[in-house]
A and B are shown apart, each in its own frame.
Chain A
Amino acid sequence: MFKRYAKLWWALGALIILCPLGLIATGTAFGEWGLDELIQSDEVGFIPQGLAKFGDFWQHAVLPDYSIPGMTSTFTQSALGYILSAVVGVGLVLLIITLLGKIVKE
Chain B
Amino acid sequence: MHIPDGYLAPQTAIPLLAVMVPAWSVAVKKVQQTMKKKEVPVLAVGAAFSFTIMMFNLPVPGGSSAHAVGAVLLAILLGPWAACLGVSTALIIQAMVFSDGGILAIGANCLNIAVIMPFVGYYIYRLIKGKASAVSGRGIAAAFIAGYFGLCLAALSTALMFGSQYEWFKAADGTPLYFPLSLKVAVSAMMAEHLLLAGPVEGIVTALGLTFVGRTYPELIGDEPVALDQEVNSYV
What is A's interface to B at a CB cutoff of 8 Å?
Answer: 1-2, 4-5, 7-9, 11-12, 15-16, 19, 21-32, 38, 43-44, 46, 48-58, 60-66, 82, 85-86, 88-90, 92-94, 96-98, 100-101, 103-106
Name the residue in A26, A63, A93, A100 with the highest tally of chain B Cβ atoms < 10 Å from its Cβ. Answer: A93
| Chain B residues, CB < 8 A from A50 | 6, 9, 169, 171, 177-178
Cross-chain contact B52 with A55 (CB below 8 angstroms): no
Cross-chain contact B52 with A15 (CB below 8 angstroms): yes
User: Total A-B pairs in contact (CB under 8 Å)?
Assistant: 214
| Chain A residues, CB < 8 A from B62 | 27
Cross-chain contact A86 with B103 (CB below 8 angstroms): no
**What's the Cα separation between A46 and B177 when bound, in Å?**
11
Cross-chain contact B178 with A89 (CB below 8 angstroms): no
| Chain B residues, CB < 8 A from A61 | 96-99
Q: Which 6 A-B pairs have the closest CB atoms?
A: A101-B40, A55-B6, A61-B99, A50-B177, A51-B6, A25-B57
> Interface digits, B11-30 against A, CB 8 Å rule (1 contact, 0 not)?
00000000000000000100
| Chain B residues, CB < 8 A from A62 | 97
| Chain A residues, CB < 8 A from B6 | 48, 50-57
**Size range of the chain B interface in the assembly:** 35 or more
Secondary structure class of chain A's binding surface, majority of residues: helix
Cross-chain contact B42 with A8 (CB below 8 angstroms): yes
User: Is B196 interfacial (CB 8 A cutoff)?
Assistant: no
Cross-chain contact A8 with B1 (CB below 8 angstroms): no
Cross-chain contact A104 with B56 (CB below 8 angstroms): no
The stretch of B84-92, B117-125, B135-143, B146-154 that contacts the partner chain: B84-92
Cross-chain contact B98 with A15 (CB below 8 angstroms): no
Cross-chain contact A51 with B41 (CB below 8 angstroms): no
In whole Å, how far is A47's beta carbon from the nearest beta carbon of chain B?
Answer: 9
**What's the Cα separation between A48 and B162 when bound, in Å?**
13
Cross-chain contact A32 with B2 (CB below 8 angstroms): yes
**What's the Cα separation between A28 and B235 when bound, in Å?**
48
| Chain A residues, CB < 8 A from B93 | 89, 92-93, 96
**What's the Cα separation between A54 and B197 when bound, in Å?**
31
Cross-chain contact A27 with B98 (CB below 8 angstroms): no
Whether A28 touches B9, Cβ cut-off 8 Å, given contacts A103-B28, A104-B40, is: no
Cross-chain contact B37 with A106 (CB below 8 angstroms): yes
| Chain A residues, CB < 8 A from B183 | none
Whether A57 touches B104, Cβ cut-off 8 Å, given contacts A26-B59, A49-B171, is: yes
> Interface digits, B160-198 against A, CB 8 Å rule (1 contact, 0 not)?
001000000101000111111100011001100100000
